[in-house]
Amino acid sequence: MSTHETRFFARALVLVTLLGVILSMGTASAAEPRARDLGIPFPGTPGPLNAITDVAGVEVGYSTLIAGDGKLVVGKGPVRTGVTAVLPRGRKDLSGVFGGYAVGNGNGEMTGTIWIEESGIVGTPILITNTHSVGVVRDSVIAWMLQHGGTEQLWGLPVVAETWDGYLNDLNGFHVQRDHVFAALDGARGGAIAEGNIGGGTGMHTFEFKGGTGTSSRRVRVHGIADYTVGVLVQSNFGRRSQLQVAGIPIGRDWPEDAPFTKESGPVNELGSIIVVVATDAPLLPTQLKRIARRAAMGIARTGGTAGNGSGDIFLAFSTANSAAATATEKLQQAAFVPNDRLDGLFEATVLATEEAIVNALVAARTMTGIDGNRLVAIDHARLQQMLRRHDRLVTDRNPGR
């Protein structure tokens, strides 16, 4: 195992072996370099962690499944997958939050969205996994919430989203099980969180480099009202190499090596997806959160994504404010909200944090080999810096933005 790989796995809060599979859970220290550490410039001011967990109360947990090497044997592996859990108010408060969702391109899945559209409420934790594990994850969330008193009516419509990891993972082996979902939920914590090859992002690519999980945040001053935080978490699994832009520079055009999908079928036909979860402490109504969710597409576009026909680009935004109004079952309720004319800063924060979260996923990810020897190479940090320096886009006074 390389030094980078060793550091990556050391970031997990807990490492245990379960049924012969490496299972990493919970949050992590920020040991690996992030995009800002490399000198990549991003507009806006991040929160202290530069993560979705800068929004007070939000917790994130992971289960990471890595086992086996060599030829694909369906049901046995190799396994390169996992589960990511986002809890809007943390494990100790499973009450609902105002929310809204949007779709860039619909070749994907996010369960529970019909009820979100109808009610404006996200009433469960938000889980992200691989395409063929949505069902077991959904059922497991219900079971976990029943154990934790999170479904007073003894029913729930969980929010579970997916992206496809079948290039590296035994997708049809159905390796994600209830215990893995419970581990991600029970291991959820605030603080700094791991990125790259972890949780649901374990087997994912980004612009044909190794990709996966990424996060970022922005502080926003809404003049005359208050300061707020917008945090984003992505499961990034999209893009062809020629599309990739970093800090506005089209670096993918000059980086054709180790681009397996382009080599196989040419530079077109998007075969990936991205899930974006946006959290904020700004008081917003469900209709406004739907507008926030739509802005995630613009952050993706800043990295070069075009929401191709084969891509599932699905976005969910929620607000941790208005707790009483979002969870009330009786009596007249009142909800505060930022006026529509003051939303522009929150829109911009969503765009910028989404862009940076995607690049953070790229920077954090490590080279991974999966089924049949299929390999996704991590983006080379030094070469990336060199290309940006050539265009005078590298920041010399680095701001880690943690």
Catalytic machinery residues: 273, 311, 313
| Residue 234 · residue 60 · CB < 8 Å | no
| Residue 103 · residue 117 · CB < 8 Å | no
| Beta-carbon-side half-sphere exposure of residue 186 (alpha carbons within 13 Å) | 13
Q: At what angle do helices 286-294 and 344-364 cross, to 10 degrees?
A: 50
| Residue 99 · residue 289 · CB < 8 Å | yes
Cα 109 from chain centroid (whole Å): 14
* Burial category of 347 from C-beta neighbours within 10 Å (exposed 0-12, middle 13-18, buried 19 and up): middle
Q: Residue 104 to residues 94, 316, 352: CA-CA distances in angstroms?
A: 28, 11, 17
Q: Residue 95 to residues 26, 213, 233, 321, 342: CA-CA distances in angstroms?
A: 21, 25, 21, 12, 27
- Please name the helix (run of DSSP H) or strand (run of DSSP E) that holds residue 228, with its range, or none: strand 226-237
Please state, in angstroms and rounded to a whole number, the distance separating the CA atoms of residues 358 and 196.
Answer: 10
Q: β-strand 312-319 against 273-280: which pairing, if any? A: parallel
